[in-house]
A and B are shown apart, each in its own frame.
Chain A
Amino acid sequence: AQSVTQLDSQVPVFEEAPVELRCNYSSSVSVYLFWYVQYPNQGLQLLLKYLSGSTLVKGINGFEAEFNKSQTSFHLRKPSVHISDTAEYFCAVSSGGYQKVTFGTGTKLQVIP
């Protein structure tokens, strides 16, 4: 079975400050990892994904994440946040093929002016 843990339910941060949203996963097989963002009253959209290769993955809107197999983590980072980054962020894991995608409980990022 696979699972995802997002320990921080809310993260407040001042505008232009850096931010890290934490994600840890567990799986008995190789995994594929995703970060999604959900703006208010909208569906989810993909920020970035790790399938294989370089462990540092760059996504849209200046976000990046690093896959760390030994620590089973896939933390999301941005060096300088903007007001428009205020949203809920979900980490997800899949074992590929016809396997389901499992989501974390989400982290609400609140950017303070």
Chain B
Amino acid sequence: DVKVTQSSRYLVKRTGEKVFLECVQDMDHENMFWYRQDPGLGLRLIYFSYDVKMKEKGDIPEGYSVSREKKERFSLILESASTNQTSMYLCASSFSGYTEAFFGQGTRLTVV
């Protein structure tokens, strides 16, 4: 089974902290994604990567950065967490745009 693992299910951070969300996939997928999920807004793409060290901005990249140093790992970084970044964060991977994405369980981040 394809597995996408996110490092934390629940996370509570203080405003201004630097936050790292880690995601690892075990299927040698080329593409990796970070989405943010909020009620009524569906999934919104923050960043995606189609190769090591490559990244593309999604629809809502402001306040976020990413890192992909190894093919299997894609990290989302909140440089200075703010309360409006309280949300569910979903990582996904896919072999290509022609194939389905596999999702992690999600990280529910609360910024206080």
Contacts and interface: CB of A to CB of B under 8 A. Distances in A.
Contacts of B101: 34, 44, 46, 101
Contacts of A51: 98
Contacts, number: 67
- Helix, strand, loop or mixed for chain A's interface? loop
A105 B42 contact: yes
Q: How large is the interface on A (under 10, 10 to 19, 20 to 34, 35 or more residues)?
A: 20 to 34
B103 interface: yes
- Helix, strand, loop or mixed for chain B's interface? strand
A32 interface: yes
Interface stretch (B14-22, B43-51, B63-71, B73-81): B43-51
A101 B50 CA distance: 12
Interface in B12-56: 31, 33, 35, 40-45, 48, 50, 56
